[in-house]
């Protein structure tokens, strides 16, 4: 039987490696490092169609992640989707910032893109964005394309 000291040493090494692996996974593989402890403020925006936007989707501005989608609610008053998202307090946005739902890559996941306006006043916790652009729905795009093509064709034909 191994003596106690060697045993304890190896078990300590084992547990240390295990915790290290867990830490590696959490920080290097996952996204723990980026956003868990930052302070955020909540902002809302209404969209006609959120497409495939999901909770915890990133909110980016100029391509950099500045926040996360927190909740998506259906507004029964004006039949739109109200998306609530949190923005890191480090980043301030003007009151006339616009929000668009964009897709990363061709078939990737959808995220919210913020384009800053020019207003001097800044967004505060609980504010609502006025200018929004909904997600691009592929079916609408295709039917629009076909409609355009048909219109073009008939114009040429005439």
Partner 1 sequence: MSALTDVLESLGARVTRSIHRLGFASRFLLLTLRNSGMCFRRFSLVVREIYFAGVLSLIIILVSGLFVGMVLGLQGYDTLVRYGSSSALGVLVALSLVRELGPVVAGLLFASRAGSAITAEIGLMKATEQLAAMEMMAVDPIARVIAPRFWAGVISMPLLAAMFSAMGVFGGYLVGVRLIGVDEGSFWSQMQAAVDFEEDILNGVIKSVVFGVAVTWIAVFEGYDAPPTAEGVSGATTRTVVTSSLAILALDFMLTAFMFRGA
Q: What is the DSSP string of 18-73?
A: HHHHHHHIIIIISSHHHHTT--EEEEEEEES--TT--TT-EEEETTEEEEEEEEEE
Least separation in angstroms between residue 37's CB and partner 1 is 12
Least separation in angstroms between residue 20's CB and partner 1 is 8
Q: Which is nearer to partner 1, 87 or 129 (CB)?
A: 87
Least separation in angstroms between residue 156's CB and partner 1 is 35
Least separation in angstroms between residue 18's CB and partner 1 is 3
Q: Which is nearer to partner 1, 11 or 146 (CB)?
A: 11
For partner 1, the binding residues (CB under 8 A) are: 2, 4, 7-8, 10-11, 13-15, 17-19, 21-22, 24-26, 28-34, 36, 56, 58, 105
Torsion, CA 52, CA 57, CA 62, CA 66, rounded to 10: 160
In the block, residue with structure tokens 């969209």: 47
Backbone angles phi, psi at 112, to 5 degrees: -100, 130
In the block, residue with structure tokens 């060697």: 6
Q: Which is nearer to partner 1, 59 or 129 (CB)?
A: 59
How many Cα atoms are found within 13 Å in the side-chain-facing hemisphere of 62? 4
Q: Which is nearer to partner 1, 59 or 123 (CB)?
A: 59
């Amino acid at each position: 039987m191994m003596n106690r000291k060697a045993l304890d040493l190896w078990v300590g090494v084992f547990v240390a490696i295990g915790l290290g692996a867990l830490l590696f996974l959490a920080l290097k593989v996952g996204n723990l490092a980026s956003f868990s402890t930052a302070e955020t403020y909540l902002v809302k925006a209404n969209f006609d169609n959120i497409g495939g936007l999901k909770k915890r989707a990133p909110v980016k501005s100029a391509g950099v992640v500045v926040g996360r989608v927190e909740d998506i609610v259906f507004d029964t008053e004006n039949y739109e989707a109200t998306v609530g998202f949190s923005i890191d307090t480090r980043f301030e946005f003007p009151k006339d910032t616009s929000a668009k739902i964009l897709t990363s890559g061709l078939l990737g996941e959808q995220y919210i893109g913020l384009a800053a306006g020019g207003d001097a006043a800044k967004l505060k916790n609980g504010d609502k964005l006025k200018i929004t652009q909904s997600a691009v729905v592929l079916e609408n795009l295709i039917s629009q394309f076909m409609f355009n093509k048909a219109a073009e064709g008939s114009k040429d034909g005439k």
